[in-house]
Structure formats: C-alpha cells, structure tokens
C-alpha cells in the first residue's frame, strides 16, 4: 500500500491518494485544485476508483468537480453530510467567499460499511462531532493499515466543534471509537502532520480517559 499526500487549497487541506498493489486507488478529501493529484495518478498509472470524503466542509471538497470524473465508482460521503455536496450554505463555502456546489454523491456511507477496491479494503467509522457525518477511514491491504482521520483527530488536537453541526462532547466520544486500534497505527489527518494512535493516547489532551 502506498500513500501520497497533497496539501491543497487556502487551508492546506490534506488530500491523500492511497493505492494498492493492483493499481486501484482512492482519493480522499480533494480540498483544492487537483492538478498535482491528477498528474500523480497519470504518472503512476493508477486507477482511481473512488473519491472518499471524510466530511462535507468546503475546504475538503473544493476539488471534487475536477476529480470525480476520473473515479470509476464516483464520490462517497456519509449520509448525514450528503447535502454538503449540493449546498454552499451547508458546506460553509458561502462563508469562505468561494461558494461551491456539486451533484449528489454516488454512494452514501454509514458506520461499519466495508468498501473493497481491488486489493484495498476500507472500513467506514462514523465519528461525528466536527460535522454530523464526519468519518474516519480504516484502510488495509494485507497486513498493512492506516487511518484517514479527516478533521476528527489531529496530531495533539481535534477538529473544531464550534461550527454548525459541531459538538465537542460528541467529538470526544467519537475518539473513543478509535481507542481499540493498535498504538502503532499511522493516522493521517485532514490538516497538519501525521501521527499514531499511541502518541495521541499519550499526548492528546482531548483523548478520552475513562
């Protein structure tokens, strides 16, 4: 399994391309112009299968219109954030001064969904609190694994909960869903550097300690 990181857009949103040994790939959170992403896919000869959205805020979806036509299985988002794709008010891009709207998602996700794309397997973990439909994606290929955490979990921090639909208590409860993962699991967030579950358990002041 290979992961490539692209910081996109004015908020440097982390877009990730995760690909497997079969050449199938997912593009997660294309939050700005996707020229570099599309060039990477072409150069590596990858087959983009799906655009995965950890949530529906504008800074994570700005590039959807440029990339969705390349993805054989279209765009997937949790059903509780589905209207973010079609409403600039809901995705907050109105407030960013660059309103964006797209067609509806091709697949609506729910907690526990399993997605198989070639040699990649992806488990959907619903982690609301930043948005009602926020998700993390647990991606595996054989014995390799990683977590795309969106704006649920950052290195030593968590996503904002003061935006419409946010709730800090719910967001901290959502972190509890990640507690069962191995400490060594690499976590790739929506903004900032990567981390591990173990480091966040020890050092993140928001991590629930029951």
DSSP state of 31: -
**Tokens standing for 147?**
């977590």
DSSP-assigned beta bridge partners for residue 17:
4, 27
**Tokens standing for 70?**
């390349």
Long-range CB contacts (within 8 A, 24+) of 196-203: 197/147, 199/155, 200/153, 200/155, 200/156, 203/156
**Rounded Cα–Cα distance for residues 73 and 93 (Å):** 25
Low-confidence ranges of the chain (pLDDT < 50): none
**Rounded Cα–Cα distance for residues 54 and 149 (Å):** 7
What confidence tens digit (pLDDT) does each residue in 109-152 have?
999 999 999 999 999 999 999 999 999 999 999 999 999 999 99
Structure-token match 């647990």, residue found: 138
**Tokens standing for 166?**
């946010």
Please report the pLDDT score of residue 209 as a whole number: 77
Ordered domains of the chain (ranges, CATH)? 2-203 (3.60.15.10)
Classified as helix, coil or strand, 59 is helix
What is the torsional sign of CA 64, 174, 18, 50?
negative
CA 80: distance to chain centroid? 15
Structure-token match 């869903």, residue found: 177
The edge-to-edge listing of strands for the beta sheet with 120-126 is: 114-117, 120-126, 135-141, 144-150, 186-189, 195-196
Please report the pLDDT score of residue 210 as a whole number: 60
**Rounded Cα–Cα distance for residues 77 and 56 (Å):** 8
Please report the pLDDT score of residue 95 as a whole number: 77
Classified as helix, coil or strand, 93 is coil
Of the candidates 64, 46, 65, the residue with the CA atom closest to the CA atom of residue 54:
64
């Amino acid at each position: 399994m290979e992961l490539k990181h692209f910081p996109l857009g004015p908020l440097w949103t982390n877009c990730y391309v995760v690909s497997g040994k079969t050449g199938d790939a997912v593009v997660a959170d294309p939050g700005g112009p996707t020229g570099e992403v599309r060039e990477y896919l072409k150069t590596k000869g990858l087959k983009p299968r799906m655009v995965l959205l950890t949530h529906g805020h504008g800074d994570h979806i700005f590039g959807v219109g440029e990339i969705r036509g390349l993805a054989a299985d279209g765009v997937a988002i949790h059903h509780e954030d589905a209207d973010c794709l079609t409403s600039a008010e809901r995705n907050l891009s109105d407030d960013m001064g660059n309103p964006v709207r797209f067609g509806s998602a091709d697949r609506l996700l729910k907690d526990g969904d399993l997605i198989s794309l070639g040699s990649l397997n992806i488990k959907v973990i619903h982690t609301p609190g930043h948005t009602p439909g926020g998700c993390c994606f647990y991606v595996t290929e054989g014995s390799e694994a990683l977590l795309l955490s969106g704006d649920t979990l950052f290195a030593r921090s968590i996503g904002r909960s003061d935006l419409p639909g946010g709730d800090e208590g719910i967001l901290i409860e959502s972190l509890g869903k990640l507690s069962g993962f191995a400490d060594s699991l690499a976590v790739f967030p929506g903004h900032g550097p990567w981390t591990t579950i173990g480091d966040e358990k020890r050092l993140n002041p928001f991590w629930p300690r029951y």
